[in-house]
Amino acid sequence: MGTDRNRLIAEQAPFQKLVKLIEHELELAGQGLIQELDDAIARTGDHMATLPNPAPESAQQLALRAEALRGRVIIEVTRLKENIALTRATLRRGRRVARQYRAPRGGQYSTTA
């Protein structure tokens, strides 16, 4: 019985680590820490390359949880992208307005007229 328990623990451990890695990604995405998120995604990818495919029966629930969490990370990254696009559009609009209020180019006002 002890060996079965040890086998289950050994099979589940890499998938528990995967869940933790993806939870960390979700946390970073929620905080908008893009560079750190990029690094975390790379670490998760490296870890995923070491996992057996398909997951052992004992780790199926963990694999499903990891998949669901990955979906949430994708949603958060999509939100980040949308916020960045909105911010960039607002900046462009602000720059256009600022250019309209700039002094005319090419000359100075005459003080001797």
Asked if the structure places residue 109 within a domain, the reply is no
Asked if the structure places residue 49 within a domain, the reply is yes
Give the chain's domain count.
Answer: 1
Domain, as residue range, for 75: 2-100
Asked if the structure places residue 82 within a domain, the reply is yes
DSSP state of 85: H
Asked if the structure places residue 57 within a domain, the reply is yes
Peptide bond into 54 cis (omega under 30): yes
Asked if the structure places residue 41 within a domain, the reply is yes
Tens digit of each residue's pLDDT (9 = 90 or more) over 9-63: 989 999 999 999 999 999 999 999 999 999 999 999 999 999 999 999 999 999 9
Q: What is the distance between the alpha carbons of residues 95 and 89, in angstroms, rounded to a whole number? A: 10
Q: What confidence tier does 112 reach under pLDDT thresholds 50, 70, 90?
A: low
